[in-house]
Structure 1
Amino acid sequence: MKVKVVCRKIYDYVRYDLKEIAFPSSLSDPPHIKKRRKLTWRERFLVLKEASRLYAASWVRDIGPDLRPNDYKKDEDKPNEAKSQKKEKEPSTLEDLAVAARGGMETLRPALQRVYVTRASAYRDALKSFINGYQEGIQRVMEKKDDSKSQKESDETNNSA
């Protein structure tokens, strides 16, 4: 090769390949990804304004219509029947514990026991279900092994005859 060609190849290696080896560039986006247009300064300001409003509203302990106005609009659109059905619903575990805590230690202990008993039974049921599924899986694998062994033995006896 000529000296000029060798010098150009070394130059290209240092300029492109070595740079990529030392400082790899990130992968490009997949072809199905469409790039979004850049926001204008006005749109950026509106996004920042809304984000700061939501952030400030999140510091309030009672999350109300200020933080999630769309959720409250849906509730207002529904008739009064839906609101009465919500009131008839059983209290949640957290509400139950809060009421029991106000009553003192005598009422809190049975409520906590109910919570622990329900959690323990759910855990026990999940564990039983997992063990049964695991045993079924082991049985399937063992059956497949037995079937493959019996097929190999029958193939060997047929080949020897």
Structure 2
Amino acid sequence: MVKLKQLWRKFSNYVRYDLKEIAFPSSLPDPPHIKPRKKLTLKEWLEVIKKASRLYAESWKRDISDDIDILEGRTPQGKTENGQKEGKEGYEKEPSTLEDIAVAARGGMETLRPVLQRVYVTRASAYKDALKNFIEGYKEGIAETMESKDSLKSPSHEDISNLVKEEKKEEKKEEK
């Protein structure tokens, strides 16, 4: 009866602890220096979601980097009178390719064709230049490798190989 009790206890402990760990292994514990964060209450969680969604919605309308800087404790960069950041200092940017295409698309196929041709020509020239630079670099790399191989061959190695060949020829002549 005692053995049956021990067997039952060992079996139940195996199922309760070991089998559970085998079937559903627990993750490694956090390192000792990590302090667990407190769980947010429902009110705090809703406040975070509300603030995040507000910032996300405003990001579609305007530049919110100043708001984010303030939230993270940094001082925002100043702006000029026309609303641009100071780092640009009156810099008027050139319209991007996408903006050019959008403007040309409004004008119809007649205005779109030259813009698309210009885009394709600039892309093709960029690919051509990149390929040309790659080939030049590849040739330089091969040349350096060949030079290093040539420098490894010393005259003494060639002399030794020539001497060995001459000795073999002499041995063959003597055998005849």
Q: Which TM-score bucket, shorter chain as reference? A: 0.5 to 0.7
Per-residue deviation, residues 95-119 of structure 1 (Å, max 9, x unmatched): 1111111111111100101111111
Q: Distance in 1 between matches of 2:96 and 2:149?
A: 50
* 1:24 Cα deviation after fit: 6.8
Distance 1:134 1:25, change over 3 A: farther
**2:173 is matched with which residue?**
none
1:116 aligns with 2:114: no
Give the % identical residues. Answer: 56
Q: Which runs of 5+ in 1 are unaligned?
A: 1-14
1:37 aligns with 2:49: no
RCO comparison, higher one (Cα < 8 Å, 6+):
1
* 1:137 Cα deviation after fit: 1.4
Residue of structure 2 aligned with 1:91, choices 88, 95, 118: 95
- Which has a greater percent of helix? 1
**2:4 is matched with which residue?**
none
Q: Distance in 2 between matches of 1:156 and 1:123?
A: 50
Per-residue deviation, residues 21-47 of structure 1 (Å, max 9, x unmatched): x87765667x7x855533432543333
Q: CA RMSD in A?
A: 4.5
Residue of structure 2 aligned with 1:63, choices 60, 63, 68: 60
**2:137 is matched with which residue?**
133
- 2:90 counterpart SS class: helix
**Counterpart residue identity of residue 137, structure 2:** G
**2:169 is matched with which residue?**
none
Per-residue deviation, residues 72-126 of structure 1 (Å, max 9, x unmatched): 9968x4122674935x432111111111111111111001011111111111111
How many residues are treated as equivalent by the alignment? 139
Equivalent residue runs for 1:143-158 within 5 Å: 143-150=147-154, 153=157
Q: TM-score, normalised by structure 1?
A: 0.58
Distance 1:71 1:53, change over 3 A: closer
Q: TM-score, normalised by structure 2?
A: 0.54
Q: Distance in 2 between matches of 1:23 and 1:150?
A: 66
Structure with bigger gyration radius: 2
Q: Distance in 2 between matches of 1:156 and 1:71?
A: 78
Q: Distance in 2 between matches of 1:24 and 1:154?
A: 66
